[in-house]
Amino acid sequence: MAEIKENGILIRNIETKNIMTKSALPVGGYSVNPYVGCTHGCKYCYASFMKRFTGHTEPWGTFLDVKHWPVIKNSQKYQGLRVVIGSVTDGYLPQEEQFCNTRRLLEQLKDSGAEILICTKSDLVLRDIDLLKGMEKVTVSWSINTLDEDFKSDMDNAVSIKRRLDAMKQIYDAGIRTVCFIAPVFPGITDFEAIFHRTKNQCDLVWLENLNLRGAFKKEILDYIQKKYTNLYPLYDTIYNKGNRSYFHALEEKAEELAKKYNCLFVDNELPYGRAEPGHPVIVDYFYHEEVRGSENTGRRNREE
């Protein structure tokens, strides 16, 4: 298993018997990650847990395994099923330009009849617009939780917010279903109304997700807030140390009011595939990672009666 180091990233090639994995996510029947590890290195990334299963000891964001898999010969077996590309590792990392794993995957699935959902923080997806336009059902989702480039740069190594927004516009104008995934919502920092106004004319869905702090990165994020947003630390302490989520409940109500104001559907789970009326994206209520197992895998959070 040859290893190389490029720009501080440890890269190795690995063989895998099957690239398709049955998904436990509420948004998909199958999950596909053409790589292991993610060089965007998001400080809040829940996917960093996967190091427990891969044997990696390197810091999150500093390693990447390039998968090699047998060609998908019977892609029609996925017809009518949703296939999520990038549930753990963004398929359009900078290294995708060199290795083309995601493009290879799309070529193998282009006639499958599956509903493809691509999750990314990149504009490299524009490279594959020729393939996407030829697929029956495809959605591209960009994670955008701020319009502040400085905050973005503190949180991840992905491309700028402007580049993501420009890519979303080009994909949307090409007739491809798009999602603005406002995730994770940082209390007191993420201005979801401003993001909604910036994207409502170039996306079909606005999907909201709370910041879920758990594991090793909880302390890192709370330390960051205490240092850079000192005035917000009491709010974060209330939510993440004392378990009071009234802030998010109030934000849900505000999102519903915004939907009514702009004649948008407001739902607590995603609708079947379809395009929204221009300028009136569907607003999808919060998807709480920590509550999925107790909600019959629907994506709806467990609401208090």
Q: Which domain holds residue 277?
A: 3-294
pLDDT at 276 over 90: yes
Higher pLDDT, 24 or 262: 262
Whether 302 is in a domain gets the answer no
Higher pLDDT, 46 or 84: 84
Buried b / exposed e across 16-53, counting CB within 10 Å, b at 16+? Answer: eeebbeebebebbbbbbbbbbbbbbbbebbbebebbee
pLDDT tens-place string over residues 187-215: 999 999 999 999 999 999 999 999 988 77
Domain count along the chain? 1
CATH number at residue 289: 3.20.20
pLDDT tens-place string over residues 135-166: 999 999 999 999 999 999 999 999 999 999 99
Q: For the whole model, what pTM was predicted?
A: 0.91
Whether 300 is in a domain gets the answer no
Angle at 117 between CA 115 and CA 119, to 5 degrees: 175
